[in-house]
């Protein structure tokens, strides 16, 4: 039986920073969904690590903050995060971004011009 995602993922290239109890670092978000993301980073995090994540969005000088995310898998320099806790404003920002991505990259770039 195949694995089916709960929500669509979108390929992106957003800078990020993350920090947990033992490790902190920077990475690039390579795909994003309402429930999680994958991060390319030189810092390796073990599975089940809990981190806070800040994602630099193209439409804002303020990062999207994920208060709590859990590392679900690690493959080489990439790890997958499942989002556990977001504030209501950050949830709204994430949903708006994903709607824009669903409409195409021009929508995101147009929004970034403001």
Domain ranges of the chain: 10-112
Q: Say what the pLDDT of residue 95 is.
A: 92
Question: Is 59's pLDDT higher than 80?
Answer: no
The pLDDT of residue 17: 97
Indicate the helix (H) or strand (E) that contains 97: helix 88-103
Residue 44: closest CA among 63, 67, 27, 69: 27
- pLDDT given for residue 70 in this prediction: 97
pLDDT beyond 90 at 22: no
Distance CA 47, CA 45 (A): 7
Residue owning tokens 């992106």: 12
d(C-alpha 27, C-alpha 18), whole Å: 8
Give me the half-sphere count of Cα atoms (radius 13 Å) on the Cβ side of residue 84: 14
- What pTM does this model have? 0.85
Q: Which CATH class is domain 10-112?
A: mainly beta
Q: Which residue do the tokens 């903050």 mark?
A: 65
């Amino acid at each position: 039986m195949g694995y089916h995602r709960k929500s669509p993922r979108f390929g992106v290239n957003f800078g990020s920073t993350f920090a947990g109890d033992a490790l902190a670092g920077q990475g690039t978000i390579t795909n994003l969904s309402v429930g999680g993301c994958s991060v390319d980073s030189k810092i390796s995090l073990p599975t089940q690590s809990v981190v806070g994540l800040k994602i630099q969005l193209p439409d804002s000088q303020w990062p999207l903050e994920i208060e709590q995310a859990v590392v679900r898998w690690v493959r080489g320099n990439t790890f997958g995060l499942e989002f556990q806790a977001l504030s209501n404003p950050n949830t709204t920002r994430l949903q708006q971004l994903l709607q824009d991505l669903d409409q195409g990259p021009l929508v995101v770039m147009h929004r970034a011009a403001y």
